[in-house]
Amino acid sequence: MKRLTALLATACAALLYAAAALVFPHYAAAATMTEVTNFGANPGNLRMYVYVPNNVQPNPAIVLAMHPCGGSGPGFYSSSEFASLADRYGFVAIFPSASKKANCFDNWSDASKVRGGQTDPVSLMSMVTYVEQQYHGDPSRVFATGSSSGAMMTNAMLALYPEVFKAGAAFMGVPFTCFPNEAAYQPGGNSAPCVGKTAQQWGDLVRNANPSYRGPWPRMQLWHGTSDTVVAYAELEEEVKQWTNVHGLNQTPTSTATPQAGWNLRRFADASGSVKVEAYSIQGAGHSLPTSGMAAVAIQFFGLTGASPSPSPTVSPSPTPTVTPSPTPTVTPSPTVTPTASPCRVVYTANSWNNGFTADITITNRGTTAINGWTVTWTWPGNQQVANAWNATVTQSGAQVTARNVSYNGTIAPGAGTSFGFQASYSGTNTAPSQFTVNGSICAIT
């Protein structure tokens, strides 16, 4: 889809922080997310945030969790379930923030395709090494996951450093080395080079990144929505080709399942029955993954739950973690409102600095029928003023704000979600709205 460049450019302007980073102690306080500076070589100019749960294991596993374009480490911490799963299973989670091309992780430069290239993968490896050294992280249990741009980087990290990462989970990604240059970084609707290579060609690109490596190769779990118009659903098959070929498997699954309504799972196992690749097609889902419960499936695939991987683990609800305020960015907590039988849920995350902020809003359809066209409204409790937005058309009259879907994200299937964001200014206190409505219905806020 060729509109992605415009979306990325808008998000880039929206997500620049206005203050410099502070230096924090080596150890984050338990059950808080802390920014770490001076974590090692950082040619990608990334920012590192680390989350250490109260029940962190003595030699914890490490999960590198990477945000989509236009996002941030604190935003993915708040909007995904990986922090609450760290609370449950005792691993350390790293939430990096990208800095290039609308806060996308670099998946296009020549340097991003070679081991030791002076760009984002080297910075991410520095973060992993830091956690191994400072938190006694277990080097035999290091994993990567991410959404969209973060999923693309998940593919890259497993390809470039296969001896480091034991498994990955990529939500809405593309194969390693998909993009030949920055100008081609338009995942949706781009028929070449991201679609059309043979499995052997895709596999060779991974093997050529480490010509002397003989395995074992990391296991890979792949997710994509069938209605994704930002990163084309066709990219899922290219990823399947790449990773099954790396593992010496063909593209015929060894088993299939429907673990939940609308979730179609294909598994690819070796001769011993060990599953090396999983592919989830989410019927009707757009560019909105992971949604509720999917992160838990990824963590179980990693083997961090103490049980064998299964397609649909049961996860007890955990409260959304609250980011401890820091000078840049400060995450404004949202109030919790739970209307009875609410047909929708809203997650609101604001990242503030001085007199400005950006906010991400995720809408989830809790009803039994699809939402076809959505309008979100809220009222500011203060003097907040929206300046620009992405993935929605946002207007403001006084304190009243209205956000409407754009052409490619108007449909939200039951159980699915979509996200949009904006940049705004404020003075005084940046208090979150106390109520959101979707098409006139009051939503639960989490």
Residue 12 lies in a domain: yes
368 and 270 part of one domain: no
Q: Where are the beta strands (DSSP E) in 343-384?
A: 344-353, 356-365, 371-372, 375-379
pLDDT one-digit tens code per residue, 281-314: 999 999 999 999 999 999 999 999 975 443 433 3
Does the pLDDT value for residue 426 go beyond 60?
A: yes
Last residue of a domain, one of 282, 302, 322: 302
Determine the Cα–Cα distance for residues 166 and 299; give it in Å rounded to an integer: 12
Residue 335 lies in a domain: yes
Cis omega before residue 175 (within 30°)?
no
Residue 319 lies in a domain: no
290 and 336 part of one domain: no
Highest mean pLDDT among 268-277, 321-330, 351-360: 268-277
364 and 256 part of one domain: no
155 and 215 part of one domain: yes
Last residue of a domain, one of 302, 320, 351: 302
Residues with Cβ within 8 Å of 350's Cβ and at least 6 positions away in sequence, in order, are: 331, 332, 357, 358, 359, 430, 432
Give 333: exposed, middle or buried? Use CB within 10 Å, 0-12, 13-18, 19+. middle
Judged by phi (left if over 0) then psi (alpha if -120 to 50, else beta), residue 318 lies in beta
Residue 308 lies in a domain: no
Confidence category of residue 192, pLDDT binned at 50, 70, 90:
low
Q: What is the mean pLDDT of the chain?
A: 84
427 and 289 part of one domain: no
430 and 296 part of one domain: no
pLDDT one-digit tens code per residue, 62-87: 999 999 999 999 999 999 999 999 99
Among 327, 324, 304, 326, which residue's Cα sits nearest to residue 315?
304
Q: Residue 158 sits in which domain range? A: 4-302
pTM score, whole prediction:
0.65
Determine the Cα–Cα distance for residues 248 and 397; give it in Å rounded to an integer: 59
Does the pLDDT value for residue 193 go beyond 80?
A: no
User: What confidence score (pLDDT) does residue 321 get?
Assistant: 37
Last residue of a domain, one of 302, 322, 341: 302
Catalytic positions: 148
CA atoms 240, 246, 249, 254: torsion sign: negative
Confidence category of residue 218, pLDDT binned at 50, 70, 90:
very high
Q: Where are the beta strands (DSSP E) in 55-140?
A: 62-66, 92-94
Give the length of the chain: 446
Does the pLDDT value for residue 24 go beyond 60?
A: no
378 and 269 part of one domain: no
**CA 254 to chain centroid:** 28
The DSSP annotation for 144-178 comes to EEEETHHHHHHHHHHHH-TTT-SEEEEES---TT-
Judged by phi (left if over 0) then psi (alpha if -120 to 50, else beta), residue 36 lies in beta
**Per-position b or e across 237-257, b if 16+ CB within 10 A of its CB:** bbbbbbbbbbbebeeebbeeb
Question: In the block, which residue shows the tokens 């949604």?
Answer: 291
Query: How is residue 262 written in tokens?
Result: 């609308």
160 and 75 part of one domain: yes
pLDDT one-digit tens code per residue, 329-343: 444 443 443 334 688
80 and 215 part of one domain: yes
292 and 336 part of one domain: no
Lowest mean pLDDT among 111-120, 148-157, 179-188: 179-188
Residues with Cβ within 8 Å of 139's Cβ and at least 6 positions away in sequence, in order, are: 132, 164
Determine the Cα–Cα distance for residues 362 and 419; give it in Å rounded to an integer: 4
**CA 393 to chain centroid:** 23
Q: Are 364 and 288 in contact (CB under 8 A)?
A: no
Determine the Cα–Cα distance for residues 331 and 323; give it in Å rounded to an integer: 6
Residue 317 lies in a domain: no
Residue 307 lies in a domain: no
DSSP helix/strand/coil, 367: coil
298 and 335 part of one domain: no
344 and 259 part of one domain: no
**Averaged pLDDT, 371-383:** 92
Residue 138 lies in a domain: yes
Does the pLDDT value for residue 231 go beyond 50?
A: yes
Lowest mean pLDDT among 20-34, 87-101, 147-161, 223-237: 20-34
- In the chain, the amino acid numbered 239 is E
Count other Cβ atoms within 10 Å, centred on residue 336.
Answer: 10
Residue 180 lies in a domain: yes
Q: Domain holding 427: CATH number?
A: 2.60.40.290
Q: What angle do CA 69, 421, 168 make, to 5 degrees?
A: 35
Split into its structural domains, the chain has a count of 2
Determine the Cα–Cα distance for residues 335 and 212; give it in Å rounded to an integer: 53
Strands 167-171 and 142-147: parallel
Q: Domain holding 86: CATH number?
A: 3.40.50.1820
Residue 185 half-sphere exposure toward CB, CA atoms < 13 A:
23
